[in-house]
Amino acid sequence: MNFDLDPADAAFQAEMRAFIRQALPADIARRGRQGFHATHDDVQAWMRILNARGLAAVHWPRQHGGTDWSPLRRHLFQVELRAAGTPVPDQAALELVGPVIYTFGDEVQKARYLPAILNADTFWCQGFSEPNSGSDLASLKTRAVRDGDHYVVNGQKTWTSEAHKADMMFALVRTDGEARPQAGISFLLIDMKSPGVSVRPIYTINEGLSVNEVFLDNVRVPAENLVGEENRGWGYAKFLLTNERTMSAETPHTAFDLEQVKQIAAVERRGGRPLIEDPLFAARLARFEIELRALEAAVLRVLHMGENDPALNATASVLKLRGSELRQRIADLAVEALGDHGLAVFPDVEGQDNMDVLAPVPPAPDYAAGWLSRAMFRRATTIYGGANEIQRTIIAKSVLGL
């Protein structure tokens, strides 16, 4: 074993850091540090800067516009993107539907959708969950009935992130009501501008808008928008969710947050000294940092495992579980570090999705903005992408064989 970063990889990391520093517009970087949801324009502008360099989707295969970088380099690039506070791109497109399209889609679909994703011309949303189908996703009821060269879709999706900004939705729909639940599901690409699609916003406890209800009322979807084969959608969804799991530790995000919390703790004072020198607070910060290091090591282990390594499944499961908890805890620690400032509601004045546009801005230092909002929204990190209870069940069943 050798735990040092290869000199070539270290050089690569330095190069990426320099590139991002030079390429990221200052106003986008400033908003990124505030931690509100990135605006559509910021995401698009940044994605296009990356795409011009061929770096919009480094984890995609080269022939589809990605790179042939090693998993470690892809990870290092992520670390640098986060550390600079770049806007979080359209993950539904880049992480979820893109890989499904280039793996299972036909040539027409690849040509039509992939370049538009890379250049942020189209934004996507994930239409899986329904009001009565959350953890038990396979019970979903939205129906698609074939009518000539179209499917007619009826039903309701919910918790659909970014549906209000999305151009396209990839949805799981039931095409066979007779089969076993998992066997009757198809994977359909739906244009959000189609007649019969309506979107209702759901405000979340950060007083922001990111999730929505999507109603599908006799929506006609061209049959060519079916990905892969009819009634095979569950398999594609599982492929997609597995991809998601390895990404989901989000340690680069958490590391970025931790750096910011340290900076706050160096400025905020209690009992006559900076918080960072306060033994109680410093101990909590240290404990957090230590846990993050362990998780980062787990991420690196996973990156170096072959796809058939028997340990992969166990380690990957750890990532989502503990990663989502750390995401929550670091924002909570920031709120505590901020004292009273952490308890005041900061409206996202530059954002587009603020619930109460008239809410006053509290008098407080700039670095306080956005943390309460983050801490509130992050209650969801242990719920979305398969709730942590479900992850534990997966570990118990498929790893421990219980």
Ligand X SMILES: Cc1cc2nc3c(=O)[nH]c(=O)nc-3n(C[C@H](O)[C@H](O)[C@H](O)COP(=O)(O)OP(=O)(O)OC[C@H]3O[C@@H](n4cnc5c(N)ncnc54)[C@H](O)[C@@H]3O)c2cc1C
Cα Rg of the chain, angstroms: 22
24-43: contacts with another protein (CB under 8 A): none
**DSSP bridge partners of 232:** none
What is the distance between the alpha carbons of residues 262 and 108, in angstroms, rounded to a whole number?
49
Binding window for ligand X (CB under 6 A); candidates: 6-14, 113-121, 289-297, 380-388: 380-388
Confirm or reject binding of residue 152 to ligand X (CB under 6 A): no
Q: Which of 244, 296, 336, 350 is catalytic?
A: 244
Single residue of 14, 52, 343, 349 touching another protein by CB under 8 A: 343
Nearer to another protein, 15 or 366 (CB): 366
**DSSP bridge partners of 126:** 170
* 269 binding partner (options ligand X, another protein, none; Cβ < 5 to 8 Å by kind): another protein
Whether 349 contacts 362, CB under 8 Å: no
* 278 binding partner (options ligand X, another protein, none; Cβ < 5 to 8 Å by kind): another protein
Pattern of binders to ligand X over 92-131, x per CB under 6 A?
Answer: ---------------------------------xxxxx--
CA-nearest of 275, 267, 260 to 370 is 260
Confirm or reject binding of residue 262 to another protein (CB under 8 A): no
Whether 29 contacts 38, CB under 8 Å: no
Q: What is the DSSP string of 132-156?
A: TBSSSGGG---EEEEETTEEEEEEE
Confirm or reject binding of residue 375 to another protein (CB under 8 A): yes
Pairing relationship of beta strands 124-127 and 168-174 according to DSSP bridges: parallel
The whole-angstrom distance between residue 304's C-alpha and the CA centroid of its chain comes to 22
Confirm or reject binding of residue 142 to ligand X (CB under 6 A): no
Confirm or reject binding of residue 333 to another protein (CB under 8 A): no
The whole-angstrom distance between residue 305's C-alpha and the CA centroid of its chain comes to 23
Residue with tokens 């991002």: 20
Interacting residues with another protein (CB under 8 A): 129, 132-136, 139, 158-159, 202-205, 207, 211, 269-271, 278, 280-281, 335-336, 339-345, 355-356, 359-364, 372, 375-377, 379-380, 382-384, 387-389, 392-393
